[in-house]
């Protein structure tokens, strides 16, 4: 090891011993966490070590310089954490929206299934002739005249059967509407 490196190593060791706790305490007042403050103080000294800066150990300028570097490190740390928190919050909001949509869809599908099931049970509660008339008119969309001709019933009687079944369906699905 040459003379310049020995001088730097000694200077660095002395500065680290004198200023590490001062800088860590200074940073803690910014980040409010001792472990984080120590990590950031460590980064400050690592930067000095990598740049091979020689500092005057008993100078006020050295203290101000280390505090300026530490302050910038602390602000960068806070800024990075805020961005992480914002991204996390965005992800959580998206997740909540998806979940809300998912559960809403499930609830809607359940409700639709209950209504369809109730309609099916209601229609099947009528005799086959009335069911066939109702389904031909309302599901197959056949004209009243054609349904009347097939069933050999009057148009008036077809409307009565249709109204009777529709009324019963309305009564049975009323709780879901």
Q: Which of 10, 70, 65 is nearest to 38 (CA)?
A: 70
Residues 52-68 have pLDDT tens digits of: 988 999 988 999 999 99
Residue 112 CB-density burial (10 A; 0-12 exposed, 13-18 middle, 19+ buried): exposed
Assigned token pair, 38: 């120590």
Residue 99 has pLDDT above 70, yes or no: no
pLDDT tens track for 66-82: 999 999 999 999 998 88
Non-local (6+) Cβ contacts of 166 within 8 A are none
Does 96 score more than 70 pLDDT? no
Contact (CB, 8 A) for 57 and 17: no
Structural element, H or E, at residue 151? helix 144-151
Q: Which two tokens stand for residue 47?
A: 């930067």
Is the model's pTM score more than 0.95? Answer: no
For residue 79, give every residue at least 6 positions away whose Cβ sits within 8 Å of its Cβ, in sequence order, or none.
Answer: none
Report angle CA 101, 103, 104 to the nearest 5 degrees: 60
Number of H helices, E strands in the chain: 6, 0
pLDDT tens digits, one per residue of 7-25? 899 999 999 999 999 999 9
Is residue 169 within 8 A of residue 138, CB to CB? The reply is no
């Amino acid at each position: 090891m040459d003379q310049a490196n020995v001088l730097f190593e000694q200077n660095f060791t002395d500065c680290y011993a004198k200023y590490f706790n001062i800088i860590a305490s200074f940073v803690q007042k910014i980040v409010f966490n001792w472990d984080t403050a120590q990590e950031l103080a460590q980064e400050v000294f690592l930067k000095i070590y990598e740049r091979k800066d020689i500092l005057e150990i008993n100078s006020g300028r050295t203290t101000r310089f280390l505090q300026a570097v530490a302050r910038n490190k602390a602000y960068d740390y806070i800024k990075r954490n805020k961005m992480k928190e914002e991204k996390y919050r965005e992800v959580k909001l998206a997740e909540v929206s998806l979940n809300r949509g998912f559960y809403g869809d499930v609830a809607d599908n359940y409700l639709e299934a209950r209504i369809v099931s109730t309609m099916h049970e209601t229609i099947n509660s009528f005799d086959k002739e009335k069911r066939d008339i109702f389904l031909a008119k309302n599901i197959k969309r056949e004209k009243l005249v054609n349904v009347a001709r097939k069933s050999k019933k009057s148009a008036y009687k077809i409307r009565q059967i249709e109204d009777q079944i529709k009324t019963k369906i309305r009564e049975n699905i009323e709780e879901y509407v």
